[in-house]
Amino acid sequence: MEEAKTIITDDVEITGSIKCTSSVKLAGKLNGDLSTTGDVSVEKGAAIKGNVIASSIVVQGMIKGNITAKERIELKGNARVSGDIKAKRLVVEEGVSLVGKSEITPVDSVSGELPGDIDTPVVGVDEAAKTDDDGLKAAIPSRPAMDPRARTGQLFARK
């Protein structure tokens, strides 16, 4: 993480959005969005009520809003995040609170394919059995059958 050029100290409270190209170190309060092409460090005791967009983000304070990082999001110590997060990489330390969805995609791919993906046909449970040249049916892999008495969220194998 590069050294912050923009520093918002713990005695500062800003209402409004911040847009910049430098790295930001926030120790105060921000009621609005923060958007930068640099990195963001949200210090312990700092709070943001708004969305954060940056290259990389380290959170030790609180964010109520969505977080999007081009590279990496690091949630440290007792960080509190309430919102969705999206990045290539995510680091979460013990003690962190995260309420929201996370989308971690380690590659820049329009199709969303990960390195090493191969085109392997998937045989479905309901797909008809195929026959080989001798007229024998090929085995179809299947999942264990569900007990019809099972409630939603419960799975039981038949005996």
Going by C-alpha positions, the residue among 31, 26, 32, 33 that lies closest to residue 11 is 26
Going by C-alpha positions, the residue among 31, 28, 21, 53 that lies closest to residue 42 is 28
Give the integer Cα–Cα distance in Å for 102 and 123.
29
Asked if 51 and 64 count as a contact pair (C-beta separation under 8 A), the reply is no
Name the DSSP class of 18.
E
Which of the pair, 26 or 155, is modelled with greater confidence? Answer: 26
Give a yes or no: residue 115 inside a domain: no
The total number of structural domains in the chain stands at: 1
Q: Token match 């026959």: residue?
A: 131
Tens of pLDDT, residues 146-159: 555 555 555 555 55
Tens of pLDDT, residues 67-101: 999 999 999 999 999 999 999 999 999 999 999 99
pLDDT at 119 over 90: no
Q: Which long-range contacts (C-beta less than 8 Å, at least 24 apart) are formed by 99-106?
A: 100/66
Q: What is the mean pLDDT of the chain?
A: 80
Give a yes or no: residue 119 inside a domain: no
Give a yes or no: residue 157 inside a domain: no
pTM: 0.67
Give a yes or no: residue 77 inside a domain: yes
Asked if 26 and 44 count as a contact pair (C-beta separation under 8 A), the reply is no
Strand partners, 91: 74
Give a yes or no: residue 109 inside a domain: no
pLDDT, mean of residues 24-51: 96
Question: Quick one: pLDDT band at residue 107, thresholds 50, 70, 90?
Answer: confident
Give a yes or no: residue 93 inside a domain: yes
Asked if 33 and 51 count as a contact pair (C-beta separation under 8 A), the reply is yes
pLDDT, mean of residues 114-135: 48
Task: Give the CA distances from residue 120 to residues 52, 97, 139, in Å, rounded to whole numbers and listed in that order.
Answer: 38, 38, 17
pLDDT, mean of residues 116-133: 48
Give a yes or no: residue 127 inside a domain: no
Asked if 55 and 39 count as a contact pair (C-beta separation under 8 A), the reply is yes
Residue 28's domain spans which residues? 6-104
Give a yes or no: residue 134 inside a domain: no
- Percent of the chain having pLDDT more than 70? 66
Distance between alpha carbon 137 and the CA centroid of its chain, in Å?
Answer: 44
- Residue 150 CB: number of other CB atoms within 10 A? 10
